[in-house]
Structure 1
Amino acid sequence: MTADAVPLDASQASKLHEARNAIREQLGKIIVGQDEVIDELLICLFSRGHCLLEGVPGLAKTLMISTLAKALELRFSRVQFTPDLMPADVTGTEIIEEDRATGHREMRFMEGPLFSNVVLADEINRTPPKTQAALLEAMQERQVTVGRIRHPLPDPFFVLATQNPIEQEGTYPLPEAQQDRFMFKIFVDYPTFDEEFEVAKRTTGSSVAEVKPILSGEDIIALQDLVRRVPVSDHVVRFALSLVRQTRVGSPGIPAFVDELVGWGAGPRAVQYLILGGKARALLDGRFHVQVEDIAALAPPVLRHRMVVNFAAESEGISSDDVIQRIIDATPQTEDELTRDARFQKIFAS
């Protein structure tokens, strides 16, 4: 257990679990299925992270995010990213304003849609990298700098971005530095037959479901602070470090298949997000501590956009998710096996 972790009592630990169930119930009025996607969105939210959702058009990515915003008593903005969108259209700009009483003119900053609690960056990869980069400072520093003046963003602040697969027409690949600001990259898949059957029935009728707000901004901030107080053992931290360090090509102790299939691996931010995500996942499940299974379950959404496979892997149809799963399978989950394995002793010593 880390030294600064404060033990939680049962009533505190149950708050996030109850909030998850209430939000799920509200989202279930509009969204059919996608339980895993919703859980990962909530983990991201309560970890103070940002989330990138990828899927083909028509899978209700935008509807899911806007419905989540309704279930939270927060200010919501949607930005439709297009090829002609400029950075100032997102962050805001300075305008000249005249004081009618005195006749003097002065510069005034007009806030852009980024100054909201929940920002939906819709189809973020349909705008050029220049405009995509307008989000970098906001996502990392939670502020916007215009004309040497820093403008703090509201708290809580949560960027949810959707993107279409890069193979589709009219898309620009997100720079690696931009992707690294997102805690999770979540794949949104097609619904099952039964789910799509229910979607067809709901969306072609006249009834409209009403979503009630569950949490306020103050509630979310309190729950985010609660997540950071969840204890985590040194063994779980070592396991998270083991997964991330095995993605780094050329490092001591990594599996041979990583050198063969990976172009470059994940940085320290991946370890931070694995541990924070594990804490949030534990509380969402009503548990007081983080397990190795939490880290393993969150490894794909945390690592898939931070670890890049090389041409050899692409030519064989091997994705980053395939490599991540192989790394998980090759990593012992018990403390004794992990610390005694000669290969991991090299990883820990490097």
Structure 2
Amino acid sequence: MTTGFFWDERSMWHAGGNYAFTLPIGGLVQPMAAGGLPESPETKRRLVNLMNVTGLMREMDVRTAPEATTEDLLRVHPKNYLDTFKQMSDNGGGELGLRVPFARGGYELAALSAGLSIAAVDAVLTGNVQNAYALSRPPGHHCLPDFPNGFCLMANIAIAIEAAKAKGLIGRVAVLDWDVHHGNGTEAIFYDRDDVLTISFHQEGNYPLDTGALADRGKGAGTGYNINLPLPAGAGHTAYLHAMDHVAVPAIRDFAPDIIIIACGYDASAVDPLARMLATADTYRQMTLKIKNLAAELCDGKLVLVHEGGYSEAYVPFCAHAAVEALSGSDIVAADPFGQTFISRQPGERLDAFLIGEIDRMAKELAL
């Protein structure tokens, strides 16, 4: 069985509209750089390029996917939101929510991003591939049903989960979000449900500022099925692996899902401009291996990684390459150009000891 790799060059053409240029971006006019959007396509495109150069891409089952259908989208997003988004997209773009500008055609590109996630989850659940990576862009984990924010226009993972449920392919789902920013959209969508376990590791006090508290555990039937781990700034390799072993793995094991989906952001890396964490490419390799092994134990290896944030054009490709190496079991390794620098010595033992203590304190409070 192979690893499915779902991506489409068209998704790299999502842009922030005419924020930075007078050029009419959209249609057949490819955006220049990010087209005014801080969420640059180059982090993702350079991953594809790196995988082509190392040969890792040749080991993947590479696929694209159709856009998510209106029926797919309506399971998560209300019709008035979709109608407004589509109208603005057709009329040249704009901005619907908070920090989510888009150019002409942005609606279709967001639907394509969701479609890549749907296809990846479907392929794994139907046994077409063993596991999968969806290079979805724009990302999705901040998007609420009727309010996009943080570069996210549609809730890719939630849409994929609901599509699979509508087909009768899935019962219980565990979503682990290790993007450095709180996965507030995914949390909100499933907050009162007990069939989806949502776990978010994120930098405390980053983005969004008003969500992601340790005490937010769900409501109603969903009480206890939402876990937030707000990590102090400076958390690095040791702290993240400790959090995996003492929070994520036991919680997912107790939940016993039919599939595990990772909201896979790389902005906890030591050189990311939008966070203050110290993870390395090997951090993502080891975290992926831990969840891959857990998936083999719990759900016949059914695991999907859906690409979320990460804003260092230089380092995201290496972090993501390491994750795909682990996911696929490949022997092809892209040597980390940063990991053997000062980053490998950060944080020091005293800070690691403090961080481990904080994680253990929170795990105890979570009763894990």
TM-score under structure 1 normalisation?
A: 0.29
- Greater fraction helix: 1
TM-score by length of 2: 0.28
